[in-house]
Amino acid sequence: MNTSSCISISTMKPCCRILSSCKGSSFIGKCNHFMNDNLSNPHCKLDDIHTVSDYATRVIGIIGSNRSVFCGSDSNWRHFRLNKETRCYSVDANVASDVRNFSTSIEAQVNEKRFNKFYIQGCLNVKPLVIDRIESGKDVAKVEEEIRTDINNGSGVNVKHPDNYLNGECVSESPHEKELSEVEKEAWNLLRGAVVNYCGFPVGTVAANDPADKQPLNYDQVFIRDFVPSALAFLLNGEGEIVKNFLLHTLQLQSWEKTVDCYNPGEGLMPASFKVRTVPLDGRNGEFEDMLDPDFGESAIGRVAPVDSGLWWIILLRAYGRITGDYTLQERVDVQTGICLILNLCLSDGFDLFPTLLVTDGSCMIDRRMGIHGHPLEIQALFYSALRSSREMLSINDSTKSLVSAINNRLSALSFHMREYYWLDRKKINEIYRYKTEEYSTDAINKFNIYPDQIPSWLVDWIPEIGGYLVGNLQPAHMDFRFFTHGNIWTIISSLGSHEQNESILNLIEDKWDDLMGKMPLKICYPALEHEEWRIITGSDPKNTPWSYHNGGSWPTLLWQFTLACIKMGRPELAQKAVDLAEKRLSADHWPEYYDTRHGRFIGKQARLCQTWTIAGYLTSKMLLQNPDMASKLFWNEDYELLENCVCALRPNGRRKCLRSAARSQVGL
């Protein structure tokens, strides 16, 4: 067979598979999985694989009973080794246009719901083509030798990794040119030791890799959320392969039918984590195959599906393109479909009148009962970031037009809602203190019926004169006044808050350094729930005791996000101070998951050691501080056009009083 001119779907059994029921597929059981890679010279267009895509639902490359051959032009194939006899190839269909610079203006038909059908009309059932082929042992060895080049110089840092170069040009500078400290060398070695391989290729990092841990539970899995700092560390080091593999493999796990008590989660849901399992190959004695086994929440504590996984996936996809300069990944049809499915799930209509996402307790980084159900700040900030990322990456065509319009509408409404109602400073506290309650009308000042007696006593003396922050949650008759670090940091990174508000958040952190940083940055929330409040809200959770775990514990993984926010606001010295503080203890304490006590003096009582996102967060922070220009590829600047448009102005039956002028005044327009 002329391998340069023909593609075949093989009857051979692949060595890799996904545990999935593959909703809507024409087959049951195993799904042929693949290792995807963009072709350096892709000649095969979407029309060339039209026949194949008609047969594939959610996964292309189904192993059939007959061998089908499709002949095309001479293509430059990138080979992946699966086992001694089988390889997996992919066809990269570049069908998306360059949409990174399109206008953000809102379309007139804001109530149009056709975006709900985008993935059906536009790109459902379209996945990259997978080809299995028998090759000689000699060729396989040669390919493996080409792929598995030694990229380490003894310090665990990349040296001339092939992903450093795109189209012959260097896109990122490797930290190997700078002398690494012993702590950094140790961190890199630990991070590389946490890498998980699937069919011989890296697809992520385990949550923790402590060799002394005899009961890893789910810490030996790859979490979408936890992998983000690892991905950024690899990307900043010029290593894009593991991130690309991760994005494509998690995409193939999207929209499962695994259920709790026979209820199907919404299509587009991304798993919280996945595990690579090695099982005996059917009918082949002594041979094994890899399987991807994802967890959508059916095994999690409390059985809560993750809301933030899909949001993190979109954010990481954008970061991959901006850091590597390789935008072909986000332009693939299957990736475009994945974005649309996540957005459809997030933008679907419900009973809520607010532009914020309504979620359950434990559906994000704070994954246990902590009273964050409703509209937690962290989810809204990630939601805003994911919407802005999607708008940059989505291909604009007739099918996506209404979806982009819906994104812009939601961005405009969400931005105003968060800045206006979640913001808290000394002036706003005094306003709440004088609120009237039980106000009925669209002109009510106390729109959420917040009772002045809800203002906690600690807050009155704690709030500084020149600082402020966004509250942790807001819903009818309830305002969670706690300071949640993750959400406030992402408010800065995503420009969800105005420039003045972002400055005020950093001012507050600096002013309350001892409370929020202490001996180990950063407090996940402040203050902790104590006494009767802890018993009622957490249900007497023995892990979330006061100043421990998610109840006021200190999480060093937040360092990279804090560093990114500080660089954006022109205050890298604050981030450097936090990194220096953490650097004194992390290595000596064996890189714990979290720290306990009010000032973070002790390792968490149930903290895992060698926690990967602690290690990766430190490395990412160091690299961002060494190369601040790279930070600009990861954050978002203010989008003034969003504030020029107001959803209510486009609705004939909209609110009687448009608040667009108030939103625009926040940035001095």
pLDDT in tens, 71-100: 333 333 233 323 322 233 333 333 333 434
HEC letters along 403-460: HHHHHHHHHHHHHHHHHHHHEEEHHHHHHHHCCCCCCCCCCCCCCCCCCHHHCCHHHH
Sign for the pseudo-dihedral over CA of 163, 165, 166, 172 = positive
pLDDT at 32 over 70: no
Tokens of 453: 């007696």
pLDDT at 562 over 60: yes
CA distance 632 to 650: 33
Which residues, including other chains, have CB under 8 Å from residue 121's CB and lie 6 or more apart? 399
pLDDT at 587 over 90: yes
The pLDDT of residue 79 is 30
pLDDT at 21 over 50: no
The pLDDT of residue 302 is 82
pLDDT at 374 over 90: yes
Tokens of 625: 């501080």
User: Which one has a higher pLDDT value, 665 or 134?
Assistant: 665
Mean per-residue pLDDT for 407-431? 96
The pLDDT of residue 473 is 98
Mean per-residue pLDDT for 599-607? 97
The pLDDT of residue 333 is 95
The pLDDT of residue 266 is 80
The pLDDT of residue 71 is 31
CA distance 593 to 556: 8
Going by pLDDT thresholds of 50, 70 and 90, the confidence category of residue 641 is: confident
Mean per-residue pLDDT for 643-662? 51
Among 63-72, 363-372, 622-631, the range scoring the smallest mean pLDDT is 63-72
CA distance 650 to 646: 7
pLDDT at 176 over 50: no
pLDDT at 296 over 50: yes
Of the candidates 459, 568, 417, the one whose C-alpha atom is nearest the C-alpha of residue 503 is 568
Amino acid at 446: N
User: Taking the model in full, what pTM does it have?
Assistant: 0.78
Going by pLDDT thresholds of 50, 70 and 90, the confidence category of residue 8 is: very low
The H or E element containing residue 54 is helix 50-55
The pLDDT of residue 303 is 86
The pLDDT of residue 581 is 97
User: Which one has a higher pLDDT value, 262 or 209?
Assistant: 209
Mean pLDDT for all residues in the chain: 78
Going by pLDDT thresholds of 50, 70 and 90, the confidence category of residue 173 is: very low
Tokens of 275: 């595990």
pLDDT at 304 over 60: yes
Contacts by 258-261 with C-beta closer than 8 Å and gap 24+? Answer: 258/21, 258/294, 258/296, 258/298, 259/298, 260/297, 260/298, 260/303
pLDDT at 68 over 50: no
Among 68-77, 125-134, 190-199, 548-557, the range scoring the smallest mean pLDDT is 68-77
Of the candidates 584, 555, 553, 579, the one whose C-alpha atom is nearest the C-alpha of residue 566 is 579
- Cβ burial of 430 (10 Å; 0-12, 13-18, 19+) is exposed
The pLDDT of residue 640 is 86
End-to-end alpha carbon distance in the chain: 66
The pLDDT of residue 114 is 41
Tokens of 201: 């290729």
Going by pLDDT thresholds of 50, 70 and 90, the confidence category of residue 47 is: very low
- Cβ burial of 532 (10 Å; 0-12, 13-18, 19+) is exposed
The pLDDT of residue 281 is 87
The pLDDT of residue 256 is 57
User: Which one has a higher pLDDT value, 264 or 149?
Assistant: 264
User: Which one has a higher pLDDT value, 498 or 157?
Assistant: 498
CA distance 472 to 226: 22
Going by pLDDT thresholds of 50, 70 and 90, the confidence category of residue 26 is: very low
Number of H helices, E strands in the chain: 22, 22
pLDDT at 393 over 50: yes
Over residues 225-271, the pLDDT tens digits come to 999 999 999 999 999 999 999 999 999 998 656 566 777 778 899 99
The pLDDT of residue 40 is 33
Tokens of 149: 């080049």
Of the candidates 403, 499, 417, the one whose C-alpha atom is nearest the C-alpha of residue 102 is 403
Of the candidates 525, 508, 617, the one whose C-alpha atom is nearest the C-alpha of residue 564 is 617
Mean per-residue pLDDT for 313-331? 98
pLDDT at 69 over 70: no
Over residues 406-418, the pLDDT tens digits come to 999 999 999 999 9
Of the candidates 59, 51, 65, 66, the one whose C-alpha atom is nearest the C-alpha of residue 88 is 59
| 290: Cα separation from own chain's centroid | 25
pLDDT at 314 over 50: yes
The pLDDT of residue 274 is 96
Q: What count of other Cβ atoms lies within 10 Å of the Cβ of residue 599? A: 16
Three-class SS of residue 146?
Answer: helix
Three-class SS of residue 656?
Answer: coil
Over residues 493-545, the pLDDT tens digits come to 999 999 999 999 999 999 999 999 999 999 999 999 999 999 999 999 999 99
The pLDDT of residue 504 is 98
